[in-house]
Structure 1
Amino acid sequence: MPLTFTLDPAVTPELRDGLLDLWTDVSNADGAVGFVAPVDRETVRPELVKHFAAMAEGRTRLLVGYDEDGTVAATAFLAFNTHRLMTHWVWAYTVMVHPRHQGKGYGRELLAATADAARSFEGIEAIRLTCRGGLGLERFYGSCGYKEVGRIPGAIRVAPGDDRDDIVMLLPLH
């Protein structure tokens, strides 16, 4: 069953808790979403609060995918550029699908919905995102139309002696 996507949902306690659970579960399943397992909700909470602040300021938009039970199953945050020469593209970040839904095609659905959302923003021509090397994420994003446009070797340190490339991907929207 496909996900149901909502752009800019009301931030309710249920949404907040669903996002915390999703981000914690993805992180603990070794998802590359800014943390290294193990984490708990209280570790994730300050980062989510930063996302909410950016949303309240109009700098970021939230796309949420709900599963058939109405549970938060996927997210992507879209951040607008403030630099006057880069306002024609947005950043996608904290892009994640709950581990229980891996392998169902929900990642592709999420990326397609993210592109549709970005197309609805006036003047936006592309989406950029970064991903952690060593996990094959660049192949997945590539299969969804993104192109690798940059790579910084060893920029992400997930543990002492375990440095990963920071890979920049771009999806033109036209």
Structure 2
Amino acid sequence: MSLRFVLDPDLTAELREQVVALWVDVTNAGGAVGFVAPVTGADVRPVAEATFAGIVDGPDRMLVGYDDARPVAVLVFADNRFDLKAHWCVLKRVMVHPGTQGRGYGSALMRKAEWLGRKLGWAALHVTVRDGLGLEQFYARLGYREVGRLPGALRVAPGDDRDEILMWLDLPPATPEP
């Protein structure tokens, strides 16, 4: 595995386009990253730009995994924007390019996020997943536990409402970097 991680890369126009393209590819391959397939860059771009603004202007942060020079894995550390929740962080837009599935990139991305979470002083990480895709098993293998569900919270199509599953990972003290 030749994945190299960068926390808070410079969000150049090129990287923004690469992240939008990744988002489109992940969604169109069935990934649950805020949209339902099929989507185009024009569909994703407004949400992506709002996400980028939260990163550039703060307080959110982005972790990008590169396979050589190509970004193939992304997640956002989304600040809770509330002092009583400052001790934990929400992970959003967790994406791995579908063409790299099966290489361990998803696990590597999440392990790096876990390590960084400790380094950044958080006591826990939180991620939500769309029911019906088996994603909760992936996160459970990484130590996340289901802490709740919002029944029918996600309407992916008329008559197809899915639970939003709330997953939580307690972060013990820092360990050596992966």
Task: Name the TM-score, length of structure 1 as normaliser.
Answer: 0.96
Distance, in Å, in 1 between the alignment partners of 2:4 and 2:171 is 22
Pick from 162, 168, 171 the counterpart of residue 164 of structure 1. Answer: 162
2:27 and 2:80 mapped to 1: Cα distance? 26
CA deviations 1:9-35 (Å, max 9, x no partner) are: 001122111101100000000100000
CA-atom RMSD in angstroms: 0.9
The one-letter amino acid paired with 1:13 is A
Equivalent residue of 2:152, what SS?
strand
Cα separation, 2, equivalents of 1:105 and 1:121: 24
Q: Give deviations 1:37-62, integer Å, cap 9, x for gaps.
A: 11001111101111111112222000
Equivalent in the alignment of 1:76:
75
Unaligned runs of 5+ in 2: 173-178
Report the Cα distance in structure 2 between the residues aligned to 1:46 and 1:141, rounded to whole angstroms. 28
Tell me the matched-pair count: 172
- Where do 5+ consecutive residues of structure 1 fail to align? none
* d(CA) in 1 for partners of 2:110, 2:2: 13
**Pair 1:133-2:131 in alignment:** yes
- Tell me the residue number matched to 1:38: 38
The 5 Å alignment of 1:86-165 reads: 86-122=85-121, 124-165=122-163
Deviation at 1:2, TM superposition (A): 2.9
Deviations 1:109-146 (A, max 9, x none): 01001111212213x11100100000000010000110
3-state secondary structure, aligned to 2:84 = coil
8 Å contact from structure 1 (residues 2, 106) kept in 2: no
What SS does the aligned partner of 1:108 have?
A: helix
Instruction: Kindly indicate whether the alpha-carbon contact (under 8 Å) linking 1:66 and 1:74 is maintained by their aligned counterparts in 2.
Output: yes
Which stretch shifts more, 50-59 or 150-159?
A: 50-59
CA distance in 1, matches of 2:9, 2:161: 36
Query: 2:176 aligns to what?
Result: none
SS at match of 1:93: strand
Give, as a single letter, the amino acid of the residue that structure 2 aligns with 1:72: P
TM-score of the two chains, using structure 2 as the length reference: 0.94
For 1:56-75, what aligned pairs fall within 5 Å after superposition? 56-68=56-68, 70-75=69-74
Question: Which residue type is aligned with residue 163 of structure 1?
Answer: D
